[in-house]
Structure 1
Amino acid sequence: MGKKEAGKPRGRMSAYAFFVQTCREEHKKKHPSEGVQFAEFSKKCSDRWKLMGPPEKKRFDQMSEKDKSRYEREMAAWTPTEEGAGKRKKQKKDPNAPKRALSAFFHYCAEERPKVREANPSYSVGDVAKELGARWAKVTDKTKYDALAAADKQRYEAEMANYRGGGGAKKQKVSPVKAVKAPVAEVDESDEEEDDDEEEDSD
């Protein structure tokens, strides 16, 4: 595991991770002087989680979604240090490799960024990113962007299948998925790099 770059946003937490965190806090309140046996505690948490139904897990799912928005917002505003940027440059990418699929948030950014820039011409790149993150947090119906992300994921998987099948020598063209309307050209390169980070953190 590589060393985390200083200042980089904390990775997002899953619903189960929030559940375990809550269980740990409850245990500390009930038994403040008692230590936690990790293996036994983890097994109990796992067993409890398996017995819980969707209604009981709902609040943890909501906590996870909220943390995901926090993570995407912070990643959009985060700028790698020179040291971190230098490490990125050492990683050579095959120019023939398919473009990574964008998340719902980045499809939203591609659509809204021109509007934010037009309304705020004096904004820096960081200011625009923060504004987009703030707006995204207020979006109540993200169905459209989830659909775009799902379609883009299918496009990426199809292109990767062709890419791997062809040995990566030549990128075979795949018919674009009609559902993906957000033009990739409108997405800043920094967005794509951030999306790479998101996938790496979720591994």
Structure 2
Amino acid sequence: MQNTRKSLGGAPLQVVNANVAPPTTPGTKVRKMQAELDKKDSENESLRASVKNLTNALGKLDLVKAAGPIVNPTEVKNNKKDPKAPVPAKTAYKFFCDVSPVQDNMQKLWKETDAKKREPFILLAAADKERYQNEFAAYNEEKKALDMYYDKKKQEQAMAFFEAHLEAQAALKDVEAGKDNRKANKDPDAPKRPTSSYMYFAKETRSEVVSKYPDAKPTEVTTMMGAMWKQLDAKAMKKFEKMAEADRERYAAEKAVYDAKVTVKKAEAEQEEIARFEQEKKEAMELLESSKQLSGEMIIQNVGGEAMSVVSDLSNKSKKKKDPNAPKRALTAYNFFFTQNRESIKSKLPAESTNTELMSEIGRQWKALAESKKQKYNKMAEKDKVRYANEMAKYTPNKQG
């Protein structure tokens, strides 16, 4: 650089020598200390953000743990008898023993009893056998539905625990590596922070300084601009202060709008969470109800490696006989999904998969299905509801049934 160059303020500048460090002034020391403090604040803020993420992730793990294991109340451990299971049917001999005087050899007495006298006990045994078969069919159907329901819940809890575990591991790595997550966590819709008066001055002046001193290093350019900023009189500085004030007002206005949007988003997120929970409860009940219907009409089980249709048509004479002319009840969206996708899902499972595992997988895929894809089945269900309503309007119950 030549000694004849002038500064923008009119006074001659000292020669900038790349080999000689600029003189250290009190102002330079203050700026250096401030820069170091800002750096420390940034590092501390980064660490706090990482610790917060880790705390949140560990909190999710604690929530899953606090929920406790999913317990299926229908499971019976240690080969104990299920107290809710139907009472086994009595034999004719047992009915005979119940009403006969106790003797040393009841079996001999039963064998010696006349066939005509045995007949009432045989009829009682036949009726009790039919009672047991009906009760066991209903009990077994309900148990299958509940097994499927609780297996699905166990899978969901295991997945939630696994995801929380992965999130905690990622957060721990961030803490250990000192990763700065502020930018990643910054909302892109947040308003841009206000620009200071000095930054407006620097934006306006930098190109002029760089053009005058093309060989100057960035640090030297910054030093020159700092010196020029200090030399500005009140009138010249007022221009940039007005620009900064206008930008602060802009930021305050945008921040108010942004804060309002954040409040609305939080409220919407809470409502979505409530709606999601209600929807999950609804789907769980649909799954349970569907399993009860399908176990009696459509379920195909694997028995000894061979396919066997199970049609639950055991008559329960204690219940009112169903009118065969009554309209078929409307199917749910899940029913239509089940019917159309069951075989394709089954073909992708291992050959040894049980019916409970199949039902759980179908339920899982239904829950994971995007709402846009569920619309197809929702429309089918709505159409079937209309069909059922129309048929019921024309239906006359058979009173003799």
Q: Looking at CA atoms only, which structure, 1 or 2, has the larger radius of gyration?
A: 2
TM-score (normalizing by structure 2): 0.25
TM-score (normalizing by structure 1): 0.46
